[in-house]
Chain A
Amino acid sequence: MELSLVDLRRAFEAEDYICDDEVIMTVYLALKLQKPLLVTGAPGVGKTEIAKVLSKIFQTDLIRLQCYEGLDENKALYEWNYQKQLLHIQINKESEQLGQLEAGIFSKDYLLERPLLKAILTEKRSVLLIDEIDKTDEEFEAFLFEVLSDFQVSIPELGTIAAKQIPIVILTSNGERDLSDGLKRRCLFLYIGYPTLEKELQIIRAKVPGVAERLARDIASAVYIIRQKLNLRKKPAISETLDWARALEALMAESLDQDLIDKTLNVVLKDRQDLDTFRELMGAHGLQREIGTLGG
């Protein structure tokens, strides 16, 4: 499916993904150039969501590789089904020659596809999400080079397998460590920051449709003020704003008041020191006053 820039923007909006034009332009270029897109930014700003939205837009599978310490090619690319191979050998050891036995067990029937191989072998162009790449080791990053630049994998027993359709690849990173230059060179880069007040309000309206208008504006203002005025260890992200909106909606609140802020603040601030900083430097009363000032 070919999409123009305008179509892509509309499609993102239709999926309730509210973002800047820069995000749309970068995703558009990644699609056109068929290059992986490396998305970085604080946790909860909507990095993973881009892949999910793309899979919905293109009505295709989202193949997700969640990265973690110790992830290796066996879990990311492929693995031989060792037990099945063993059974094959046991059953056929009398009837088959050694050469035949070998050829039999190193075929696609005995291959366990892991996310990377699955994304390459799929008939329809899929979306491959390599989530939190910064959590893996440098060796795994290097291993990804072949997949990300040539969209092919080399399996010693089978040879090189090229992608049937070049997948849409989205890599995300929380910036816990620097990624290698080799990996970055193979990708287009997108940094997603915190949204503006107006954008955040739009996001709340789109994602939590039942929330009262006044409450939505108060929440967006409160989060904006907290991010701007307090020097926190972990600033509230969009996901936390939405959690707060859902929590307040469940409490059937119409607007934010001091009592509600005090009782629900731990939905937005998840670090003990940040909560202390908030109470010490601003407090619910101060926040409410600031919201009033911002609202004019």
Chain B
Amino acid sequence: MSKETDFVIGKNLVDYINLLRLLGARVSLAEILDVFQAFEYVNFSDRNSVKAALKCSLIKRHEDLPLFEQTFRTFFASPEQKKEWQVQKRQEDNEVEQQLAQAESDLTFQGESLNLTQKEKLSYVNLDNLAQERLQDFLKKSSEGTHMEKDFKPMIENMVRGQLAYWQNKEENFQPFEVPETGDQEVDYLLNQVQKGLKEEQSRLLKQDIKNISEADSPEAERLLHHLSRKLATRISRRYQQSSKRSVIDLRRSIRKNIGLGGAMVKLHYKSKKVTKPQLILLCDVSGSMSKYTKFILQFSLGLANAINSMETFLFAERLERTTPWFQKGVSFEEIMAMLGEQRQVWGQGTDLNQSLKELENEHRFLLKKNTIVIIVSDTKSVAAAKAAERLQSVQKRVKQILWLNTLAQSTWDKHPSVAAFQPFCRMFECNTIMDLERIISRQLLEN
């Protein structure tokens, strides 16, 4: 190969790896060197060989394979295909521009356009006609109202923003993951293409907010959860198992065993390290606001509870119920859901964490020990948050640590005073996707 060809291949490769890295694949320098070495044995006219060489050298996690496939298809697409995409992109950009112009002309106060972000304008465009008309009507009436001065504009803008945020939260479309903006037009364009393609892939379930998982995706998500919980449970039970690994010679037992051999230490005995299992207590919020998460979290708990005998499970809403027997071996998930349906009437729809923790302290005090880890899965929306925070502090003093898996997006935590009230007494993590759930349990229980 000529030097020029080498340069082009090298540049393409570096650009491609850069794209993979931007999309979250971990590619180290050692792996890049492997690709260059592998390319010495690859026939470049055979696309599949090039793909296999890149795949085996760069991608080392099974979950990154869909990302690789999509990235490869996009980056190494034919020039005709790329041209077609660019035409599509231009059309889409034009449409967006028209929509933005439309939003600007619709959303005015006393003849002046409102100062809204591009995202807000687009969420207006995506509203149904009725909602758009209501908003326009509100703006018209506000503009024409008596004593309405121009100074009211910021207030009106805030009200419109609030409306748009409400609709945006309600109808937010799922994005597989945030794609970083690089500023390089070509790279950004490729990133968007890959993101579009990945929306179709199964791995999206891992990164999708659980509350947005559709009925159709539900069985697949359940299967995924079952797999993840089994995987985690195996690791957790292994982590705290008596190991047969040799460590230190047990002199006392060795001497005893070798007395019969005249004192020569022929047979040695070893001490193995003593392990203490943590006591796990899972408190799962099953109130109305958490209903969309409950099913999946219970599925995950069932997987864990089947492997960790020492795990205690409690469900709570307005009061607390010990549900450990529900998760005993042999009880199917369908039976658990049926029992939950019956009990919900008794527990109520709201959340009273104060009452629930009080019951935990009074009736199950023996479980709260220095080696106990309490995991709370809740959106923190509870009545009497101040009292609940005091109670949480009291529980925290008795146990090793409290992990709070908060289903609210971290970006919204500052809007919920209850988050600030509970945070000092626990380690709080954003947890609203299957991937979050797996990652947090894995890190907190296995790596610490």
Contact = CB atoms under 8 A, between A and B. Distances in A.
A69 B238 contact: yes
A86 B265 contact: yes
Interface in A201-220: none
Nearest to B237: A69
Contacts of A72: 245-246
A137 B222 CA distance: 28
A189 interface: yes
Interface in A56-98: 69-70, 72, 74, 82-83, 86, 90
A198 interface: no
Contacts of B26: 181
A33 B55 contact: no
Interface string B39-61: 01100000011011101110111
Interface stretch (A118-126, A170-178, A260-268): A170-178
Interface stretch (A20-28, A156-164, A241-249, A250-258): A20-28
B235 A177 contact: yes
B268 interface: yes
Nearest to B272: A70
A177 B26 CA distance: 18
Nearest to A184: B60
Nearest to A28: B41
Interface in B10-69: 26, 28, 30-31, 34, 37-38, 40-41, 48-49, 51-53, 55-57, 59-62, 65
Nearest to B60: A184
B369 interface: no
A69 B264 contact: no
Interface in A4-47: 5, 21-22, 25-26, 28-30, 32-33, 35, 37-38, 40
A191 B57 contact: no
A22 B52 contact: yes
Contacts of A273: 332
Contact of A83 (B231, B235, B266): B266
A57 B52 CA distance: 22
A21 B266 contact: no
Contact of B53 (A25, A176, A178): A25
Contacts, number: 91
B337 to A, nearest CB: 15
Contacts of A70: 243-245
Contacts of B56: 25-26, 29-30, 37, 188-190
Given A74-B246, A90-B264, A185-B31, A177 B57 contact: no
Contacts of B266: 83, 86
Interface in B213-267: 219-220, 223, 226, 231, 234-235, 238, 241, 243-246, 264-266
Nearest to A181: B26
B270 to A, nearest CB: 10
Contacts of A279: none
B23 to A, nearest CB: 17
A69 B52 contact: no
A32 B37 CA distance: 9
Nearest to B247: A72
A256 B226 CA distance: 32
Nearest to A35: B34
A233 interface: yes
A165 interface: no
B28 A29 contact: no
B52 A26 contact: yes
B245 A40 contact: no
B231 A177 contact: yes
A88 B190 CA distance: 70
A120 B29 CA distance: 27
A239 interface: no
A176 B219 contact: no
A188 B57 contact: yes
B41 A29 contact: yes
Given A28-B41, A29-B56, A231 B219 contact: yes
Contacts of B59: 189
A231 B26 CA distance: 31
Nearest to A26: B56
Nearest to A89: B264
A12 to B, nearest CB: 15
B224 to A, nearest CB: 10
Contact of B48 (A21, A90, A176, A177): A21
A90 B265 CA distance: 11
Nearest to A22: B52
Nearest to B220: A231
B234 A176 contact: yes
Contact of A175 (B53, B55, B62): B62
Contacts of B55: 22, 26, 189
A177 B219 CA distance: 23
B445 to A, nearest CB: 13
Contacts of A231: 219-220, 223
Contacts of B268: 82
B62 A191 contact: yes
Contact of B264 (A22, A28, A86): A86
A178 B30 contact: no
Contacts of A178: 61
B49 to A, nearest CB: 5
B41 A185 contact: no
B223 A233 contact: yes
A69 B41 contact: no
Contacts of B235: 176-177
A181 B235 CA distance: 17
A36 to B, nearest CB: 12
A116 to B, nearest CB: 17
A69 B41 CA distance: 38
Contacts of B62: 40, 175, 191
Contact of B60 (A28, A176, A177, A185): A185
Given A35-B34, A181-B28, 11 more contacts: A21-B49, A22-B48, A22-B51, A28-B41, A29-B56, A70-B245, A86-B264, A175-B62, A177-B231, A185-B30, A186-B30
7 contacts: A21-B49, A26-B56, A30-B56, A33-B38, A37-B56, A137-B243, A189-B55
Interface of B: 26, 28, 30-31, 34, 37-38, 40-41, 48-49, 51-53, 55-57, 59-62, 65, 219-220, 223, 226, 231, 234-235, 238, 241, 243-246, 264-266, 268, 332
A-B interface, 9 closest residue pairs, ranked by CB to CB distance from nearest:
A184-B60, A25-B52, A70-B244, A26-B56, A188-B56, A22-B52, A189-B60, A231-B219, A32-B41
